[in-house]
Amino acid sequence: MRQRLPCLKSLGGRMFEERKDRRPRVVVIGGGITGLAAAHRLIELSAGREDAFEILLLEGAGRVGGIVHTHRRDEFLLEGGPDSFISEKPAAVELARRIGLDEHLIHTEAHNRRSFIVREGRLCPVPQGFQLLAPSRLRPFLASEIFSWTGKARIALDLVLPRRKSDSEDESLAAFVRRRFGREALERMAQPMVGGIYTADPERLSLRATMPRFLEMERRERSLILAMRRANRQNQAEEANGTSGARYSLFLSFDEGIETLTRALVARLPHEAIRLHTKVRLLLRHRSSNDGATQWKIITEAGETIEADAVCVALPAHAAAHLLRDVDERLTANLNSITHASTATINLAFRRADVPHPLDGFGFVTPAIERLSTLACTFSSVKFANRAPQDYVLLRLFVGGALQPEMFRLDEEKMIEAVRGDLRTLLRIEKPPLFSVVEKWTDSMPQYTLGHIERIAALRAHLNDYPSLVLAGNYLDGAGIPDCIRSGEIAAEEMIGRMQTERDAR
């Protein structure tokens, strides 16, 4: 059943709301992690204020949380979307602590803290100290089977290559890695590692928008290998002092899965603040007849009109563009210029005895040149505690993305058949899984392509014309859970500040 606003009346075939509560109303459109974070931050900012405002969150689906989806099957804990976040970006940890989830935060398991990369049908461990693009420790790098000796020699040239003369032009990840480390480093390491994060085409991915620290390393230190080695020595000193841990310790989750966070946020919002099954069709701007202030009419697919004094659109860029099509052509065009890729997760459960591989790591990523169906695989029951019963294994695979859209278009049966072929080759698993669960996420991963920073800057400049409208989402400043939370919270803070400024001006 749709949760409906009270006091709706019909006028000319369309449902209009008769508002009795005349407090300023802020509407958040989109109930994913970003929208929930925005709504919760609005509640925090409104607490104790004499001029507290009404908050309403509209979600088109029958549940909130978006791609954050945790569920149990028997004694297995399945993640349909992200399974962890990094503590280096503090927004998620800070929010968890504010809402009392400290004791539910967990780190990755202490054993087998490594990952693999596929080379010629085999799983090769990522060398210790290798961080996405460059090694910080030479001996493990030289001993690695991931690169040929020719490839290793080309990577080592980074030690003597000059820095780029100018960094004014946006550079793709592929161009940067080829320039500093060569083609093999791109194909065998950078593409699969970064592909596992952004599911993107490295030829189009903006390094400045996604990993600016590597550009800064080149500018400051010239050689990335030397910069990594210096950073590694500093990290080792911090670890010796007990102030830092290995990089895998940066990955966090919750004892009952990522949805622990979204459920807690829902519990802190007033029940009447959330409307499910309420898909928004159009957003219109108008002037209040009372004081001339800008207000918004939100038209739903059901034909209802909801009035708002301020709106936060926490949807993917293309969905936001569709809602704003009658508001501003520049906003719409800018939002539509941000492309998205579709991905799917596949959870497979096995008896431990049916998996010959020792699973002595957290998972693997697959270079595109290997021509396999799987982008990446997480050994979920190895990575985090209590994801599978004893003597059982839970694997979580990813398919699709910008480089393999055809995999996403397969039906579930063919998708499972394809990834099982990969597991047969890489993990020697012949037995069928106890069960399989596929979850598809259409247009879920924004592509931070060349020129992304400039596009977002132009988008924000256009938004200055609409003080009571803010945007939030994973297409702005980062795609991870902490980035989404930060985006939602900043949007809420900006909205309150703008409303206060407009109120003072009147």
Give 443-501 pLDDT, tens digit per residue: 999 999 999 999 999 999 999 889 899 999 999 999 999 999 999 999 999 988 877 76
CA distance 18 to 452: 42
Q: How confident is the model at residue 137 (pLDDT cuts 50, 70, 90)?
A: confident
Pair 324, 378: CB distance under 8 Å: no
pTM summary value: 0.90
CA pair distance 321, 328, nearest whole angstrom: 9
**How far apart, in Å, are the Cα atoms of 265 and each of 96, 99, 274?**
9, 8, 11
Residue 1 has pLDDT above 60, yes or no: no
- 417-437 pLDDT, tens digit per residue, is 999 999 999 999 999 999 999
What residues have CB less than 8 Å from 414, skipping those under 6 apart? Answer: none
Q: Which residue ranges does the chain devote to CATH 3.50.50.60?
A: 8-65+260-338+449-505
How much is the average pLDDT of 358-363? 96
Q: What is the pLDDT of residue 107?
A: 95
Strand partners, 15: 10, 304
Return left, alpha or beta for 43; rule: phi > 0 is left, psi -120 to 50 is alpha, else beta: alpha
Establish how many alpha carbons lie within 13 A of residue 201's alpha carbon, considering only the half-sphere containing its beta carbon.
12
* CATH fold label, 340-446: Polyamine Oxidase; Chain A, domain 2 (3.90.660)
In the chain, CATH 1.10.3110.10 sits at 125-244
Kindly list the distances between the CA atom of residue 431 and the CA atoms of 356, 393, 425, in Å, as whole numbers in the listed order: 10, 13, 13
| Separation of alpha carbons 42 and 24, rounded Å | 12
Res. 3 pLDDT band, cuts 50 70 90: very low
Class of domain 8-65+260-338+449-505: alpha beta
Length of the chain: 506
Taking all residues of the chain, what is their mean pLDDT, rounded to a whole number? 89
- In order of 330, 349, 404, 439, 440, the CA distances from 397 in angstroms are 39, 11, 14, 11, 12
Give DSSP secondary structure letters for 8-22: EEEETTEEEE-----
**Residues contacting 111, CB < 8 A, separation 6+:** none
pLDDT in tens, 266-300: 999 998 999 999 999 999 998 765 655 678 999 99
What's the confidence (pLDDT) of residue 503? 65
Interhelix angle for 212-221 vs 224-240, to 10°? 100
Reported as a single tens digit per residue, the pLDDT across 73-132 is 999 999 999 999 999 999 999 999 999 999 999 999 999 999 999 999 999 999 988 877
Residue showing tokens 């004791």: 103
Residue 297 pairs in a beta bridge with 284, 307
**Given this model, what pLDDT does residue 243 score?**
33
**Token code pair at residue 110:** 């202490």
Take residue 486 and report the two structure tokens written for it. 């930060």
Domain at 125-244, CATH homologous superfamily: protoporphyrinogen ix oxidase, domain 3 (1.10.3110.10)
- Torsions phi, psi of 381, nearest 5? -75, -10
Cβ-based neighbour number of residue 457 at 10 Å: 11
Between CA 436 and CA 432 the distance in angstroms is 10
Alpha-carbon distance of 183 to 125, in angstroms, equals 20
Determine the average pLDDT of the residues in 346-364: 97
**Which of the two residues, 38 and 465, has the higher pLDDT score?**
38
CB 80 within 8 A of CB 345: yes
- Span 127-147, average pLDDT: 88
pLDDT at residue 293, rounded to an integer: 66
Q: In what order do the strands lie in the sheet with 85-86?
A: 85-86, 251-254, 105-107
Helix (H) or strand (E) holding 121: none
Give backbone dihedrals phi and psi of 78, rounded to 5 degrees, phi first.
Answer: -105, 135
**pLDDT band for position 33 (50/70/90)?**
very high
Provide the CB-side half-sphere exposure for 371 (13 A, CA): 0
Cα–Cα distance for residue pair 140/290, rounded to 1 Å = 71
For 156, the token pair is: 């080592």
CA-CA distances (angstroms) from residue 321 to 112, 317, 456? Answer: 44, 6, 14
In the prediction, which pLDDT does 249 show?
59
From 122, 32, 104, select the one nearest 68 (Cα to Cα): 32
Query: Please, are residues 113 and 102 in contact by the beta-carbon 8 Å criterion?
Result: no
SS (H, E, C) 141-162: HHHCCCCCHHHHHHHHHHHCCC
CA distance 150 to 375: 26
Non-local (6+) Cβ contacts of 94 within 8 A are none
Which pLDDT score, from 0 to 100, does residue 173 have? 95
pLDDT for the residue 295:
87
- Residue 123 is predicted with a pLDDT of 97
In whole angstroms, give the CA distance from residue 306 to residue 278.
Answer: 11
Position 13 scores a pLDDT of: 42
Question: How far apart are the C-alpha atoms of 99 and 468, rounded to whole Å?
Answer: 27
What is the SS3 assignment for 412?
helix
Report which residue type is found at 353: A
Containing 300, the helix (H) or strand (E) segment is strand 294-300
| Residue 88: count of CB within 10 angstroms of its CB | 11
pLDDT over 90 at 326, yes or no:
yes
pLDDT for the residue numbered 53: 82
- Give the model's confidence band at 5: pLDDT under 50 very low, under 70 low, under 90 confident, else very high: very low
pLDDT value, residue 9: 43
The predicted pLDDT at position 290 comes to 60
Q: Where exactly does CATH 3.90.660.20 map onto the chain?
A: 340-446
